[in-house]
Amino acid sequence: MEIRVFDTAEQVGQATAVLIASHLINKPESVLGLATGSSPIPTYQNLIAMNKSGAIDFSKCVTYNLDEYVGIPVDHECSYHRFMDEELFNHVNIRREAIHVPDGNAADMDAAAKAYDEAIVEAGNIDVQLLGIGHNGHIGFNEPGDKFVYGCHVVNLTKSTIEANTRFFDSEADVPRQAISLGIGSIMNAKQVLLIATGEGKAEAVRAAVQDDVNPACQASILRTHPNVVFLLDKAAASKL
Ligand code: F6R
């Protein structure tokens, strides 16, 4: 595990974008595993700038997002489909058919989850997986528990995640109670994993992930067993290491 600490969240975004860019340059048809939330926004802004300047090309890559809420329309202002369009996809030269986000409205959610995993394997697995980390140590929506779940699955969101995500909705009551999330298997099968954490609020989760035993109570701790993982932190998120 490599840990890089930067002064600011903006620098974290620049460094993370450079690492993703290097995948696209070395392998234009890379399979990118992408995340939503506040943490990757500076990374996406840097990737957009690099694409606009001609430094990187998205036209041959394929993307798979980590997760989506269950039961909100794709065009809902808080859907992860919409987030990705607004924060990245609408601004780069990616093909629409290359974009994949889990279906939170499938008639058969288990079948949709299975098909999502199969599609990733068929694409050759993820080359670079971008992750944020929850205050409770979740990655994707793999919430703290007594096991690591391998496959894509429907998750009951914990109280802490619902509270943390209320900031995107009108009220806590509006936050969906379930999500569909990639499991730990597809994340661990990625050739490289980049975890971004910024702000003091993430310091304890980062400390637990890096320093406690590998334990499903902190799902991010499994990353310590990955052969190629980089934690990109600002000083505040690294303050308890
Ligand atoms: C988002 C995701 C989540 C977030 C995490 C941190 O696709 O999978 O694990 O990365 O909740 O969210 P932010 O970055 O908003 O603090």
Whether 74 maps to a domain, the answer reads: yes
Q: What is the pLDDT of residue 8?
A: 98
pLDDT in tens, 133-161: 999 999 999 999 999 999 999 999 999 89
Check residue 178 and give its pLDDT: 96
Give the pLDDT of residue 64. 98
pLDDT in tens, 108-132: 999 999 999 999 999 999 999 999 9
Say if CB 143 and CB 161 are below 8 A apart.
yes
User: Cα–Cα distance between 110 and 211 in angstroms, integer?
Assistant: 34
Q: Distances from the Cα of 68 to the Cαs of 19, 105, 110, 112, 169, in angstroms?
A: 25, 9, 14, 12, 15
Residue 8 CA to residue 5 CA, distance in Å, equals 9
> What is the per-residue DSSP string for 74-91?
TTSTT-HHHHHHHHTGGG
| Closest residue CA from atom 11 of ligand 1 | 134
User: Within a domain: residue 240?
Assistant: no
The count of C-alpha atoms lying within 13 angstroms of the C-alpha of 125, restricted to the half-sphere facing its C-beta, is: 10
Is residue 185 classed as helix, strand or coil in its secondary structure?
helix
Residue in 164, 89, 170, 154 with CA at minimum distance from that of residue 116:
154
- Decide if 179 is inside a domain: yes
Whether residue 241 lies inside any domain: the answer is no
**Whole domain around residue 127: which residue ranges?**
2-234
Q: Which of 88, 116, 130, 141 to mutate to test the pocket of ligand 1 (most atoms within 8 A of CB)?
A: 141
> Which residue reads 């980062």 in tokens?
206
Domain membership of residue 128 (yes or no) is yes
Collect the ranges in the chain with pLDDT lower than 70: none
Q: Which residues pair with 62 in a beta bridge?
A: 31
111 in a structural domain: yes
Residue 42, ligand 1, Cβ within 6 A: no
Contact 3, 211 (CB under 8 A): no
Is residue 155 in a domain? yes
Confirm whether 138 is a catalytic residue.
yes
- Residue-level pLDDT at 195: 98
Catalytic one among 23, 51, 65, 67? 67
Task: Give percent of the chain with pLDDT exceeding 70.
Answer: 100
pLDDT at residue 119, as a whole number: 98
φ/ψ of 38, rounded to 5, equals -75, -35
Residue 143 bears catalytic tag:
yes
- With a 6 Å cutoff on the Cβ, whether 102 touches ligand 1 is no
Amino acid type, 19: L
Q: Where are the alpha helices (DSSP H) in the chain?
A: 9-26, 41-52, 80-87, 109-122, 159-165, 184-188, 203-211
Domain count, the chain: 1
Residue 239 lies in a domain: no
Here the tokens at position 212 are 């406690």
DSSP-derived secondary structure letter, 199: S
Burial 34-73 (b: 16+ CB within 10 A, else e): bbbbebbbbbbbbbbebbeeeebbbeebbbbbbbbbbebe
CATH number of the domain bearing residue 161: 3.40.50.1360
51 is catalytic: no
